[in-house]
Structure 1
Amino acid sequence: MTSPLNRALVEEATKKSGLVWVKGSDAPARPLWHAWHEGAAHVLGDGPGEQPLTGLSEGGTAEVTVRSKDKGGRLVTWTAQVARVEPGTPEWDAAVAELKTKRLNAPDGEAMVGRWARECRLLRLEPTGETLPAPEGDLAARPVPTPATTREPIPAAVPRLLFKKRR
């Protein structure tokens, strides 16, 4: 049985954090944006241009680590039961209304809701009541492989060109 204090900690910490780290089965933990709605975190993804939901399958479990919004440190890690929310249901409509306000830089504006219904998965991560103790030692992990690159240094000629324009 979970304590009311643990439930409150999970809910408040997750509500206030715009990003959670979610570890599904056989996949490393990855950061996911989410919205808290009716007692659970809702994550949307797996469609073109949306976050990948690797390792999260309906009926499975996941570990959700919530970070502090201001310091970025770990606040709590909790276990979640993963369930898919089907498009067209009242739960879908309510959760998507919350997610829509949190989605930044959507390429298709208001049409994104229709695209989400056609091409994405909406998963409900409902707390089981179990919180996990903080792991011992260094928590640093290797970054997830990505095709993104870092910014290249500015070419040597750019400062001279900028200086010439000011004259």
Structure 2
Amino acid sequence: MTSELLGQALVEEATKKSGLIWAKGPGVPARALWHVWHEGAACVVGDGPGEQPLPGLAHGAAAEVTVRSKDKGGRLVTWTARVVELPAGSEAWRAAVADLKGKRLNAPDGEAMTDRWARECRVLRLEPTGATAPLPDGALAEAPLPTPATTRDAAPAGLPRLLLKRRRRR
């Protein structure tokens, strides 16, 4: 009983403090997702224009969630979750969206984003099932997923000098 409670506390605290989680649905690679911890689950929004993709995360399916340390970036815990899609406009959806709205950075439509989420996106709860995976013995590094994102130009030549100058002032 005590180890279960410690496991639940680890999952909750680590997920609350981490800026990103890595979620993996059945048959698809893990993806980094921004989230909020809301009422005992990690809540994510996506699958709409301008939002993060949520491939493999379907209502009722299982997912594997890996949480990294916010300061060091290393793996803290991997836990299994049950995916629950919140119906748009429901009380649970409104409560989750209120928290998600505060964490969404650079939204193109500002205050209207919640209406867009209701029309075009999915809001999911990743509810912990209580099972955590043991830490791996070796590295689990994988090649990055393909993306259309590119870097337009090289960094300006004067950037290193500007960064060093700031450090000297401190």
Name the TM-score, length of structure 1 as normaliser: 0.89
CA distance in 1, matches of 2:41, 2:155: 45
Give the % identical residues: 71
1:55-66 superposed matches below 5 A: 55-66=56-67
Question: For residues 41-63 of structure 1, what are the alpha-carbon distances to aligned partners after superposition, in whole Å with 9 as ceiling and x for unaligned?
Answer: 00100000000001111110000
* Aligned alpha-carbon RMSD (Å): 1.8
Does residue 23 of structure 2 align to residue 22 of structure 1? Answer: yes
- Quote the residue 1:121 is aligned against: 122
CA distance in 2, matches of 1:6, 1:154: 44
Q: Give the counterpart letter for 2:13 in structure 1.
A: E
CA distance in 2, matches of 1:7, 1:104: 29
Q: Give the counterpart letter for 1:99 in structure 2.
A: L
Structure 1 unaligned spans of 5+: 157-167
Name the TM-score, length of structure 2 as normaliser: 0.88
CA distance in 1, matches of 2:154, 2:35: 34
Structure 2 unaligned spans of 5+: 158-170
Deviation at 1:136, TM superposition (A): 2.4
Q: Give the counterpart letter for 2:24 in structure 1.
A: K
Q: Which SS does the other structure have where 1:3 is aligned?
A: helix
Distance 1:154 1:97, change over 3 A: closer
Q: Give the counterpart letter for 1:126 in structure 2.
A: E
Count of residues paired in the alignment: 157
